[in-house]
Structure 1
Amino acid sequence: MTGGRAIAVAHRGDPYRARENTLPSFRSAIDADADAVELDVRATADGVPVVLHDPTLRRLWGHDRPVAELTAAEVASLTGGGVPTLAEALGVTEPVRTLVDLPERSAATARATVAAVRAAGAADRVYYCGDPAALRAVREADAAAEIALTWHRATRPPEVLLAEVRPSWLNFRFGLITEDTVARAAEQGYRVAAWTVDTRRSMRRLLALGVGSITTNRVAVLRRLLGGP
């Protein structure tokens, strides 16, 4: 994906400047020179991939309604068009890479997401992270997909999972990453990605360890630490 310098990934866009996982948030992240924009995808009742982290609209939009029980038209109506479809989001994030996070264990959502990425002509600029079961489905749907295997433990992912998913990246919560984590990953041909990193101190520590990607809510801060675009 990139050589040498670590890449700056904007977590759900630029959420301190615009509401997370919205088109204005993605535009703000791109304006801040993000290398990639991370966004979350869930599927509506009619199978449309939309961009939202939570299973319901409650936290961000004030409606305690599960996305999976609403059609795409109903989601748009309840949020005033604020929740974009994946297709709409990919249209905005076209200048940079897009990291699609699949937070739920749903093969159907993963397959619909891969299909939407293909339909948008965006397969060459999209890569995937999220629930391991969803990532298995991504790999089954797209043999060439770039995958960052999200892992929540200090232990290495099981060999069988690595063989099934064939990731390019191991995507760890930042507090789990040590010098040994990066070294062992490199020995096996993987790069290490860290999430979600918002303090300069943690950013500097991870950069010194040789982490290849940092996902942050403060992409402008990370960009300044990394230097120019």
Structure 2
Amino acid sequence: MALRKRAQGEKPLAGAKIVGCTHITAQTAVLMETLGALGAQCRWAACNIYSTLNEVAAALAESGFPVFAWKGESEDDFWWCIDRCVNVEGWQPNMILDDGGDLTHWIYKKYPNMFKKIKGIVEESVTGVHRLYQLSKAGKLCVPAMNVNDSVTKQKFDNLYCCRESILDGLKRTTDMMFGGKQVVVCGYGEVGKGCCAALKAMGSIVYVTEIDPICALQAW
């Protein structure tokens, strides 16, 4: 909100055409509204078929943001929504904001010519970054990409503190279960895994950890 107040008069993002694929939550809505206030044009899809808050997606659509997402999409719906984000006459994105790499993958697969005008990719997730490294090693990454996880605040705060809150919220929304006494397997004991394990254990779950790094495995033990 402070950024909006300080910079909306200058419109520093005028000319930015951002296509995004993240969780559609209230936090994302604040981000999109802020990008719009700073002069950017946005089109958005969901990176997860379960996490969309329908009331948020509806509110964004009513405000004029092209948003393609609803809770409980099928896999075909998921790719249809991503396609609707990018396959529109007279609109060419010049930046990708991705969480998981699916949007980048879809543009690369279906609309590779779009990369001629795309200035860069911002990738939020470790999974998406791995996919970008694979493209880079194959010599197929044709635009600059920013790994948000390189930021120490992303690693040490968002990954540790935020994920341990969102993991319980997300699992409860999708399963409608109690977690006391449930046996849960967490794959990986990095910053995200540490936070998720702590939250699940605090709920009374029996937590098992798989980990390939010997130091992280020792920490889990």
Q: TM-score, normalised by structure 1?
A: 0.34
Tell me: higher relative CO, structure 1 or 2? Use CA pairs within 8 A at least 6 residues apart: 1
If each structure's helix is expressed as a fraction of its own residues, which one has the higher value?
2
TM-score normalised by the chain length of structure 2: 0.35
Larger radius of gyration: 2
Between Structure 1 and Structure 2, the one with more strand by share is 1
